[in-house]
Structure 1
Amino acid sequence: MFSSLTICAFLVAGVIAVDPLVNVDYAQYLGTARPGGVTDWLGIRYAAPPLGDLRFAAPQDPLVVDGVQIADKHGLICVSTPGDPNDTATSEDCLFLDVYAPSSATPASKLPVYFFIQGGGFSTNSNANYNGTGLIDASGMGIVVVNFNYRVGPYGFLASQEVVEGGSLNNGLWDQRKAMEWVQKYITQFGGDPGHVVMGGDSAGAASITYHLTAYGGRDDGLFHAVAAESQTFSTLLTPELSQYQYNNLVLRAGCAGAPSSLACLRNLSTAELQSININTASPGAQYAPLYMYGPTLDDALVPDFTYRLFAEGKFIRVPAIFGDDTNEGTIFVYNTTNSIGDSDAFIQAQFPYLTVQQLATINSMYPETNDSFPAAPNAGKYWRQASNAYGELRYICPGIFISETLVAAGISGSWNYHYNVEDPTQVAEGYGVPHTVEVNAIWGPQYVSGTPPASYLTTNAQVVPVMQGYWTSFIRSFNPNPYRYPGSAEWETWGAYQRLLVQGNGTAMETVPQDQQARCAYLLSIGVEIRQ
């Protein structure tokens, strides 16, 4: 514990640098000034613990706490679906954020802010605790980085009539907005500029970007000013009525069917009890459970319509934007035992249950069996590539191309798209090619991610790290990936005539989206609203 003399030393009048001791009205947090010139504050509460009656409810303001809180440990991450009931690394009490800032910054610095939304299919916090030091270093000590946890699974996205009446829909998205509101209130004290916030994210985090762009039909609440989305995903959107089966199945497993209030009964379960029954179940008509069952719900407010339709109708916030994808988006998701066209169709239909048999037949004709995209993994099913290619374009690549095209059509000059094709020898040999969101290792720096990066990012592919960090930090600083890009990297031209940046291990260049991919995406776009994307 710190003496009163030590604490007073932090607070003396005339100190203008960003102080490791920061007062955010409801608490005082003491960060850590690291030797490399970056100060971090870890485990800051941005909302009240979502426990008891706040389970399945919108986030509330954080509680006032006395004394200095030592902000040197990450908060526990949010419990996942499915998840081990005894996992001590996760908790329902998980609404924490981390801030990284140059130690030399001052409250008057007004540095650009990178606000990162992690992925995880709205079922897990899969990019928790990424360290912003690498990005700050790459920016020349010119930005502030914020990352955070948000509720997932039923805790963040349970939907039914009971939840409408006694709780709140889309709590995971509301958590994200609560964190954005926190940035608006307090980031100046860390050296950041609340008027210059770039919202980034990967996978479900990139999907979240699309939901915030189209929230309330495109109402701009001033929470962000540019976006950078990696592997954006358009998933199936249900109403509370269509989600009722998910709620009912959870109630049945919990033994709450006979309770006076099934919602109150679910709230009375301990976390371990709820986690023991927190599983995915098949959608009506599907052969088996999807990879991700819970997710954002149509609520006529924050999520007012299908994502495809909202963008097509121009109901989105106009800001500079990066969207992009990896070559082999589907490989980590599709079961590598997929050995027949029936296996392939069953997988895709489990993820998109509103696909018709006729639509699946058309998709099958566009994605024939092929093993020539990269070496086959040992014992892999012969339709693994076919299903992976179809799923990757249906869920990820084509939505990204569509958004970039739509932004330009709406008059946004700052619209950029990328194709990431940096091959790791091990991933290629295993049959995964260049898989979903692998570029996070280059953007953050392989030593700063919380998972295990591909080994080549520290050796033969190390040169791609400064290239991606150059583009990203340039965009964060200037809303344009070019002014501060890494020397020798290609100028990243804005989207137009299907032009996007190709990133490979041996360099960067502009490329045109191949005609056959354009044609496939045109069809998948045409059925997007029908399959509730």
Structure 2
Amino acid sequence: MLVHLTVLAVLATIASARQVVIDLGYAQYRGQALPNGIAQWLGIRYAAPPLGPLRFSAPQDPTEIDGVQDAAQHGPLCIPTEVYPIPDGTSEDCLFLDVYAPIRFRGVTFKPLPVFVWIQGGGFNSNGNPYYNGTGLIQASNMGIVIVTFNYRVGPYGFLSSAEVVKDGSINNGLKDQIKVLQWVQKHISEFGGDPNHVVIGGDSAGAASVTLLLSAYNGRDDGLFHAAAAESQSFAPMFTIDEAQFCYDNLVFRTGCNSAADTLACLRSLDIATLQRENIATPLPGAQEPPLYFYAPVVDDDLVPDYTYRLFLQGRFIKVPVIFGDVTNEGTTFVPQSLTSTAQANTFLQAQFPALTPTHLSRINSYYNLQNINLTSPSLFPNSTPYWRPTSNAYGDIRYICPGLAMSTAYANARTPSWNYHYAVQDPEDEASGLGVYHVVEINAIWGPENIWFSETVGNPPPESYFTSNRDIVPVMQGYWTSFIRSFDPNPYRFPGSPRWGVWDGDGEGFQRLFVRTEETRMESVPPGQRERCEYLISIGVELTQ
């Protein structure tokens, strides 16, 4: 082992001397050779700056840049919704990506490596999982993969929709940024040792929503941009049509004073970024009483997004490639207010997120999640919360995350395409005591390794302490499944030694089998009958809720 590490250090030193320069045609980038035998290139521009006339437009090719660029720092994040002044480290000029790859040498023949393209979450209103360090996953793969991470436009910069934008701009630009990255990978990843014919996309939350949207893009047209997909906590938010989203545009126009302009879109494009960002706020959706958690989102545009996601998958209009879907136990706890004091308040919260919920829907949901007869005189099970918090969290988590995942796995099983589903249930003592439980996106710490997760005061969360102590053994287990899937389109061949075989989801009868993940307890399990019953109902109304 010592000899192996010494060889890696020598190779890294040699590569560093060669400056790890990559020529992309439009620009040359000098990366960094790390002592662990991996090289990284940070802040590579993959599209032209979306400024001026390119604001609210589809991503364009980057222009040529003279000289060798130093790829030693991440590019700025894209500007989030509802944050003013504009946060440090963010910019409208944000279309950058990072590449991590094992060090290779020119003149030596190597087999191209599988590529993992990570799509971060953030509810389509922020870049919520940025700058993850890919070295841990590469090491877990036995130096057998290449990793790409990137930023994409969010909020109005990525998802402003209206008749005016259709006429003189572009719709769903945040998704088009993602496609632009995948096209970039097809054209350039071989320069880093990656195989453009072996690309796996993955993401969590809105990143996983992006995975499902890309799988069903253009009615499931396969442009060969990727060959397998892993969606963690696939998020099914409601979607508007372009006409229904017009109010977002009209409100922004009025708030910025552009309503008096002859060309309101040109006026919005002419605004300085501070003026525009000051009015980048969330308001209640039509029919709702409160603003939603996430205001801007992809819209049904009859093209890239031809229909609601549920309908597209139920009708078989999606790319047939190997897939992973799955969720954590307590998907809703980080979203629902802990101060809810009545069934009415719980329903108001749910309806703010899904305005199409009717009294009939809510009555059924209240019954399923025991929201009708809660005794407020009983002490709460968790500090700083009321008895309404966890039931409402359970309902929201099922509607938006867990039930869509079961539906996606079944759609793939019905299409006779390999599909694996997981239930991530790794318990952290502090989070269990607080009531957060196994909360939304916490599994990224096990997939990437907790030391490789980037977070700040405003973006992301620090890893639970137990991932460095009592739960540290779950990291190689999850990394084994994920790197095996990236390398072979199957989570089993290269799984961590001693890990149980992850059976496919077949979707029939007793076939609702998924991987239960918990430290020292990982095994296959059946979806409980109660959850199946609840999800059957919630899936049945998914199109009514415009999911």
Report the TM range for the smaller structure's normalisation: over 0.9
Q: Secondary structure at the match of 1:99?
A: strand
Q: Distance in 1 between matches of 2:111 and 2:39?
A: 15
- Residue 247 of structure 1 aligns with an amino acid whose one-letter code is Y
2:397 pairs with 388, 392, 395, which one?
392
Q: Secondary structure at the match of 1:75?
A: coil
Conserved in 1, the CA contact under 8 Å of 2:86 and 2:274?
A: yes
Size of the aligned set, in residue pairs, is 515
The C-alpha deviation readout for 1:463-491, integer Å capped at 9, x for no partner, is: 00000000000000000001111111110
TM-aligned CA deviation for residue 82 of structure 1:
1.3
Conserved in 2, the CA contact under 8 Å of 1:118 and 1:126?
A: yes
| CA RMSD in angstroms, aligned pairs only | 1.6
Q: Which residue of 2 aligns with 1:28?
A: 28
Q: Which residue of 2 aligns with 1:358?
A: 360
Conserved in 2, the CA contact under 8 Å of 1:376 and 1:429?
A: no
1:338 aligns with 2:340: yes
1:450 pairs with 434, 449, 454, which one?
454
- Residue 388 of structure 2 aligns with an amino acid whose one-letter code is Y
1:508 aligns with 2:522: yes
Q: Which residue of 2 aligns with 1:131?
A: 133
Q: Which residue of 1 aligns with 2:72?
A: 72
> Percent identical across equivalent pairs?
60
1:463 aligns with 2:465: no
Q: Which residue of 2 aligns with 1:12?
A: none
TM-aligned CA deviation for residue 196 of structure 1:
0.2
1:265 pairs with 264, 267, 272, which one?
267
Q: Which residue of 2 aligns with 1:160?
A: 162
Q: Secondary structure at the match of 1:309?
A: helix
The C-alpha deviation readout for 1:100-134, integer Å capped at 9, x for no partner, is: 00013767431000000000000000011000000
Q: Which residue of 2 aligns with 1:220?
A: 222
- Residue 381 of structure 1 aligns with an amino acid whose one-letter code is T
Q: Secondary structure at the match of 2:504?
A: coil
Normalised to the residue count of structure 2, the TM-score between the two structures is 0.92
Q: Which residue of 2 aligns with 1:408?
A: 413
Conserved in 1, the CA contact under 8 Å of 2:79 and 2:86?
A: no
Conserved in 1, the CA contact under 8 Å of 2:419 and 2:505?
A: yes
1:532 aligns with 2:546: yes
- Residue 301 of structure 1 aligns with an amino acid whose one-letter code is D
1:479 aligns with 2:493: no
Q: Which residue of 2 aligns with 1:10?
A: none
Q: Distance in 2 between matches of 1:276 and 1:70?
A: 33
Q: Secondary structure at the match of 2:260?
A: coil
- Residue 356 of structure 2 aligns with an amino acid whose one-letter code is Y
1:491 pairs with 490, 501, 507, which one?
501
Conserved in 2, the CA contact under 8 Å of 1:18 and 1:103?
A: no
Q: Secondary structure at the match of 2:401?
A: helix
Conserved in 1, the CA contact under 8 Å of 2:78 and 2:126?
A: yes
Structure 1: tracts of 5 or more residues without a match? 1-14
Conserved in 1, the CA contact under 8 Å of 2:500 and 2:523?
A: yes
- Residue 390 of structure 1 aligns with an amino acid whose one-letter code is A
Q: Secondary structure at the match of 2:352?
A: helix
1:121 pairs with 118, 123, 128, which one?
123
TM-aligned CA deviation for residue 507 of structure 1:
2.7
- Residue 191 of structure 2 aligns with an amino acid whose one-letter code is Q
Q: Secondary structure at the match of 2:258?
A: coil
Q: Distance in 2 between matches of 1:253 and 1:489?
A: 56
Q: Secondary structure at the match of 2:522?
A: strand
Conserved in 1, the CA contact under 8 Å of 2:19 and 2:32?
A: no
Q: Distance in 2 between matches of 1:441 and 1:209?
A: 20
Q: Distance in 2 between matches of 1:108 and 1:149?
A: 30
- What does 1:275-424 correspond to in 2, within 5 Å? 275-369=277-371, 376-412=381-417, 414-424=418-428
Conserved in 1, the CA contact under 8 Å of 2:75 and 2:94?
A: yes
TM-aligned CA deviation for residue 379 of structure 1:
2.6
Conserved in 1, the CA contact under 8 Å of 2:216 and 2:317?
A: yes
Q: Distance in 2 between matches of 1:62 and 1:86?
A: 25
Q: Secondary structure at the match of 1:465?
A: helix
Q: Which residue of 2 aligns with 1:232?
A: 234
Q: Could you say if the C-alpha distance between residues 433 and 185 of structure 1 is closer, same or farther in structure 2, counting changes exceeding 3 Å?
A: same
Mean Cα displacement is larger for which, 179-188 or 242-251? 242-251
- Residue 234 of structure 2 aligns with an amino acid whose one-letter code is Q
Q: Which residue of 2 aligns with 1:7?
A: none
Q: Which residue of 2 aligns with 1:8?
A: none
TM-aligned CA deviation for residue 18 of structure 1:
9.8
Q: Which residue of 2 aligns with 1:5?
A: none
TM-aligned CA deviation for residue 429 of structure 1:
1.5
- Residue 50 of structure 2 aligns with an amino acid whose one-letter code is P
Q: Distance in 2 between matches of 1:328 and 1:125?
A: 22
